[in-house]
Every structure is written in C-alpha cells, then in structure tokens.
Structure 1
Amino acid sequence: MRIVLISGASSGIGEATAARFAAAGDRVYNLDVRPPAADAPGVTWRETDVADWAAVAAAVDRAHEEHGRLDVVIANAGISVRHNVLATTWAEARRVVDVNLLGVFGLWQAAARHMVVDGGGVLLGTASVNGHRAFPNYADYNATKAGVAALCRTFALELSPVVRVACVTPGAVLTPMQLAEYSPEMLAEVNARIPAGRHALPSEIAAAFHYLASPEAAFLTGQELVLDGGEIAGSTTSDFGVAVPQGSALS
C-alpha cells in the first residue's frame, strides 16, 4: 500500500486518479477546497487551498506523521477563467497563477522535504497542451501550464536520483464540467479538430498517472507524458483553441 496525496481530487481528472490509486489498494488523500460529491472508498478528503502554502505544508506534514512516509504526490488542482488579454484583471490572473503554478510548487516542495529525508518518492503534476501552443483567451492559464512543465524539469534535476518527477500533459478531456457546458454540436466541433476524433476520458489520464507512479516508469523523470489524441502532432492545437465556443473548458 502506498500513501498518495492528490490535489484537486474532488472532480474530473483528480477524482478519476484518486479512484484509480484507491482501487489498486493505495491510501489516498484528496487535498481540495471543495468536498467530493460522494465518498469514495479509500479516499479521504482534507480541505486544503493549494494557494495557501502553509495549509498545504500542514496537510502534507499530517499525512507524513500519520503514515511515516509519502510515496506519490500529485499536484493536479487547477482553474481557468476565459478572458482575453485586455480584459483580464489582476485578481483573476493572480488566482490562476497562485493555484495552477505556485500551488504545484508549494505542494511539491512540502512533499519533497519529506521524500528527500526518507530516501525516495514520486512527484507528479497535471500540465496541459496549453503550455505548448497558444490558446486565445487563456493567456494566464497557458503560461501556468508551461510553468508546470518547467517546474517538473527543474525539480527532477535538483532532486534526482532520490525523487522522480513527471507530468501528464492532457489535451481535451471529457470532464463533468465540459459535459455540463458543451452542447452535442460543440463537442462534435472540438472532436473534429482532434486527430483521434474524440476527447480523452478522465480514466485515461488517471491511467497515465498510475503508470508514472509505477516501478515500470523508474527511469522516467523530468518529462511530460502527452495524452492529446494527436493535437500537437497534427498542429491542430492553435486552431482548436480559436474554434472553442465561448464558455467552454479546457483540460
């Protein structure tokens, strides 16, 4: 049994990832500002705002104190606000950066301080194809996701060979938020621009995290595992971003 901490695991990718690890027999803690819609076996919610480094450190320290180790820590929490660069407010951009980028930094740092002393561990995070291509109306979100990938490489270099660090980089994912916001016509339009012809399922992203945390990935560090259905390879990412209708959500 591994001790696994996942931020933003009350819905979407985080929820699916928590369920995947719990189903494998791991002890999972969900660090999220919101409780999950329903209790999940093997998953414990602990209210935590990842933008608050002191609160994050307290949650991490508590889990370590209870179990004596931390095996896998996944920085998944993220938010986005659709707005163009001229309309973005300081408060909106600040919150996106605090959650999406500094939230990853703070969680990884708090966990790594224990992992280095304990002699091992795996740090994982959720990046995005937004960090590789410009999606209009998501400037702050795009920048934070590029920053997550840069953090991944830097943490890997500084903490190797004791701690491994990697990111999953999704494209469009069929989360409950997207299902609530998309009409069938909107989904079809987006799917038409993905070479694979569809969105990823949250469970597919969860499977990628589960692999990265496994012994089979022991030689993988400082890298992104891209699951985008061919968006980047097909050079469709920027076109896809322009075509997404107002109010839609990205991974």
Structure 2
Amino acid sequence: MRTVVVSGASSGIGLATARRFAEAGDRVVNLDLRPPGAGAHPAVGWIEADVSDWAAVRAAVARTAQDTGRLDVVVANAGISIRHGVLELTEADARRIVDVNLLGVLGLWRCAAEIMVPRRQGVLLATASVNGSRGYPLYADYNATKAGIVALCRTFALELAPHIRVACVSPGAVLTPMQLAEYTPQMLDEVNRSIPAGRHADPAEIAEAFHYLASPVASFFTGQELVIDGAETAGATTAVFGDVLTNAPGATV
C-alpha cells in the first residue's frame, strides 16, 4: 500500500486525484487550508496546511511518512488565480500567487525529496497548465508560475535521477467547481466551441493522468510535461479562447 500526499485536494482536480488514489487502495493525505468538500473519499486524511509555509509543509510530510512508514507519491496540486490585467495587478496578489503556485510546488517537492532520496524511491508530480506554454490574457502572474513548474519538473528530474521520477500534468480547460462558479453557461458554451474536443475536461480525467504517471507502467516517464487539453493548443484555437476570457468578467482558469 503506497502513501500518497496531494496538496489542494479539498476541491477540483486535487479532490478527484486524492479520490482516485484512495479508490485504488493507497493511503492518501490531503494538504489544504480548507476541509475537504463534497465528493471527498472518506479514507483520505486531511492536514490543514498552507503550502506557502515551508515549515508547515515539512512538518506535515514528515508526520505522514512517520505515521505510515513510507512516502511514495507526492502531487503538488494547490494553486490559485486572480483575473486581472497587467496594469491592475498588485504586488500583494502577485506575490501570493507565486508563493502558492510556484514556491508551494518547490517547497513540497523539496521536503518530499528529503525523505525519498535516502530511500531511493518516489514519484514527484505537479499540476501545471497549458497557460504556461503560451500567451494568455489577464493571467500574467498565474501563467508565469505554471511555466515555472515545468522548469522545476525538468531540473528535479535531472538532479534526482535515476531513483526519483518527476513529471507534471498540464490541463487545458477543466470543469471544476471554481470554473462553474465564475463562468456563465453562455461563456462555457463559447469556450467549448473553441476546443476541438468540444468540451471541458472532467477533473476525474486529470486524476487518471496523475494515477498513470505514478504507476509502474510510466517508469520511464520523467522530466516531462503531459498535456491534456482536448487539442486546445494543437491548432489555431488559442486566440478564440483568449477573446472569450478577455470579454468574460470574473473568469478564472
């Protein structure tokens, strides 16, 4: 039975990912400021933690490893976004986004690696985004953090090889509770028309990707980004999607 830590697993992609591992029989711990929401698996433990607080993260990871006797998979998923143009962006907002989205991944991976490296086994995963590989209006700071996660993935993979594998998943549009709360049905329909697959991804589909990457069948997959976007970035649909967001008040990706 593996021990799996997932940050930001109280909702959305994180919740679905924690549930997927728990349903497979793994021991799963959720690191999140908020308690788990509806749909959480009853076997998933919760430790209240802010991923931007490295001391708290180190304590939570060490406690989990001590309680279970191992640490096999860590999914750094916690992330936030604030929709604003570059001229409206504030220092406080930008720093918070970087602290959670980028330094939160770096800190969690760093703390986990301290335990995994001496044991010569482990998998480090993270949620990046297609936003990190292209221009995307109104999310400059968010986009930069997602690009940074891909860079962290490559560097950690090189430094920790051959015993520790590192990878990230870059979703496109995903139908999370946050998305549903901030998009009108008309906005969702317009975004769906801009995606060749014709729809948003379900969080469970992203969870399946994480479960695959943590499995033995992905044993040669390391230092790479797995894009799951319904062909959104395969052609010339990006500009259309960007227009939807630019004209959509309160939209968040």
* TM-score after normalising by structure 2: 0.97
The answer to whether 1:246 aligns with 2:249 is: yes
Letter in 2 for 1:204: E
Q: CA deviation at 1:234?
A: 1.4
Aligned match of 1:151: 152
Alpha-carbon distance in 1 for matches of 2:226, 2:239:
20
Give unpaired runs (5+ residues) of structure 1.
none
Q: CA deviation at 1:241?
A: 2.1
Q: CA deviation at 1:176?
A: 1.1
Aligned match of 2:168: 167
- Aligned-residue Cα RMSD (Å) equals 0.9
Aligned match of 2:99: 98
Aligned match of 1:15: 15
The answer to whether 1:230 aligns with 2:231 is: yes
The answer to whether 1:59 aligns with 2:60 is: yes
Aligned match of 1:2: 2
Alpha-carbon distance in 1 for matches of 2:71, 2:178:
30
Query: Could you report, residue by residue, the CA deviation over 1:78-127 in whole angstroms, capped at 9, with x for unpaired residues?
Result: 00000111111100000000000000000000001100011100000000
Report the secondary structure of 2:200's partner residue.
Answer: coil
Alpha-carbon distance in 2 for matches of 1:238, 1:210:
32
Aligned residues with identical type, % of pairs: 70
Alpha-carbon distance in 1 for matches of 2:174, 2:19:
17
Alpha-carbon distance in 1 for matches of 2:36, 2:239:
33
Alpha-carbon distance in 2 for matches of 1:195, 1:148:
26
Report the secondary structure of 1:101's partner residue.
Answer: helix
Q: CA deviation at 1:183?
A: 1.8
Aligned match of 2:24: 24
Larger displacement relative to structure 2 (104-113 or 178-187): 178-187
Alpha-carbon distance in 1 for matches of 2:113, 2:239:
35
Alpha-carbon distance in 1 for matches of 2:238, 2:25:
37
8 Å contact from structure 1 (residues 17, 205) kept in 2: yes
Structure 1 outlier segments of 4+, above 3 Å:
none
Alpha-carbon distance in 1 for matches of 2:136, 2:194:
14
8 Å contact from structure 1 (residues 6, 31) kept in 2: yes
Alpha-carbon distance in 2 for matches of 1:15, 1:238:
31
Give unpaired runs (5+ residues) of structure 2.
none
Q: How does 1:211-230 map to 2 (within 5 A)?
A: 211-230=212-231
Alpha-carbon distance in 2 for matches of 1:221, 1:238:
31
8 Å contact from structure 1 (residues 26, 42) kept in 2: no
Alpha-carbon distance in 1 for matches of 2:13, 2:142:
17
Q: How does 1:38-57 map to 2 (within 5 A)?
A: 38=38, 40-57=41-58
8 Å contact from structure 2 (residues 18, 30) kept in 1: yes
After superposition, the Cα gap between the structure-2 partners of 1:238 and 1:144, relative to the gap in structure 1 and judged at 3 Å, is farther
Alpha-carbon distance in 1 for matches of 2:203, 2:242:
20
Report the secondary structure of 1:124's partner residue.
Answer: strand
8 Å contact from structure 1 (residues 51, 102) kept in 2: yes
Q: CA deviation at 1:242?
A: 2.7
Alpha-carbon distance in 2 for matches of 1:65, 1:127:
29
Aligned match of 2:72: 71
Report the secondary structure of 2:231's partner residue.
Answer: coil
Alpha-carbon distance in 2 for matches of 1:55, 1:184:
39
Alpha-carbon distance in 2 for matches of 1:53, 1:159:
20
8 Å contact from structure 1 (residues 134, 238) kept in 2: no
Letter in 2 for 1:249: T
Report the secondary structure of 1:167's partner residue.
Answer: strand
* TM-score after normalising by structure 1: 0.98
Aligned match of 1:113: 114
